[in-house]
Amino acid sequence: MDWGMKNRLARILRPADGHTVMLAVDHGYFLGPISRLERPAETIEPLLPHADALMPARGVVRNCIEAAADIPIVLRVSGGNSIVGEDLSKEDITTSVEEAIRLNASAMALSIYVGGKYEHQTLVNLSRLVDEGNRYGIPVLAVTAVGKELAKRDARYLGLACRIAAELGASFVKTYYCENFEKVANGSLVPLVIAGGPKLDTVYDAFRIAHEAMSAGAAGVDFGRNIWQAENPVATVRAVRAIVHDEADAKAAGELYDELVGGSKKKK
C-alpha cells in the first residue's frame, strides 16, 4: 500500500488500536432533512471533539463544517437515489475523485446493494471508484446498503456483501451488526465498521450492539442516528468511544453515560 493511502487510513483507523469512532451525517443525500439533521452544523459541532472521522456528503462539508476543523472526512460520493424514488439501489457515483481531493477527503464512501435490482451497477461503481482512489492514494469505504429491506441483515447475507466489497478493493467496509457477526468479520478481509441503523429504543441498546460488534471483530462504529438523535448526543458518543477505544463493556459504557448526564436515572 502506498504511503498516502496508509496515511489517510491511519487518520481514520487510529494507529494505537486500529479502531475508529466515525460519525455518519450523510443521510440527507437520500433522506433529506431528517430529524436532528435539519441544520447539520448545530448537530455536528459539539460532537466533533469526540469523533475520529466524519462521514458527510459534499453539501454538508461545504455548508456546515469549518474548513479549519481538525477532523478526517470520509466523503459520501454515491447517490442519485431518494427515499421516494423508484428503487434505492439505483445509485451512481455522484462526486468525482478530483472533488474529493479538493475537499481533502481522507476516504471516499459508496454504497453497494448486493441482491438489489441495481446490484451490478453499484458493484461496478465500487470497482471504478477503487481504481480512481488507488490512482491518488484515497481509500474507499464500501457501505453494504440494504435499501428498505432491513430483514436481509443476517450473517449469511452481510458476510457475502462484505466479502464482495473487499474482493472488489474496498479498504474498509461499513455494514450492519447481526447475530453471529464473527462470521461476517472472519471472512471480510478488511476492517469493518458498523452502522447503527434507525434509532434504537435506548442508548443502552446502542452500547450493547457496539460492544458485541467489537467483541466479534469489528474495528469500530460509524453511527449516525443512534448518536445525534439520542437525548444526550455528546454523552452517547463518549460512551461509545469508551467501548471502541477503552475496552469498556456495555454496562461500563452505560454507567459512564449515566454519570455524564448527571445521575443514575436511565434516560433515552
**Is 174 a residue of the active site?**
yes
Q: Are strands 192-195 and 172-176 parallel, antiparallel or unpaired?
A: parallel
Chain mean position to CA 130: 18
Q: Which of 203, 235, 202, 243 is nearest to 219 (CA)?
A: 243
Q: In terms of residues, how long is the chain?
A: 268
Q: Decide whether 169 or 197 has the Cβ nearer to ligand 5RP.
A: 197
Cα gap 148→145, rounded to integer Å: 9
Q: How near is the Cβ of 145 to ligand 5RP at its closest, in Å?
A: 4
Q: Decide whether 133 or 196 has the Cβ nearer to ligand 5RP.
A: 196
Which residues are paired to 92 by β-bridges? 79
User: By CB under 6 A, is residue 58 in contact with ligand 5RP?
Assistant: no
Name the residue number minimizing CB distance to ligand 5RP.
224
Residue keyed to cell 486500529? 18
Which residues are paired to 140 by β-bridges? 108
Q: What are phi and psi of 66, to 5 degrees?
A: -60, 135
Q: Decide whether 92 or 255 has the Cβ nearer to ligand 5RP.
A: 92
- In the region spanning residues 21 to 50, those forming contacts with ligand 5RP, defined by CB under 6 A, are 24, 26-27
Cell of residue 249, nine digits: 463493556
Kindly name the residue from 174, 251, 266, 268 that is annotated as catalytic: 174
Q: Decide whether 78 or 132 has the Cβ nearer to ligand 5RP.
A: 78
**In the stretch 185-224, what mask flags binding to ligand 5RP with x, by CB under 6 A?**
----------xxx-------------------------xx
| Amino acid symbol at 202 | T
Cα gap 7→229, rounded to integer Å: 32
**In the stretch 91-130, what mask flags binding to ligand 5RP with x, by CB under 6 A?**
--------------------x-------------------
Q: Which residues are catalytic?
A: 174
Binding site for ligand 5RP (CB under 6 A): 24, 26-27, 55, 111, 143, 145, 195-197, 223-226
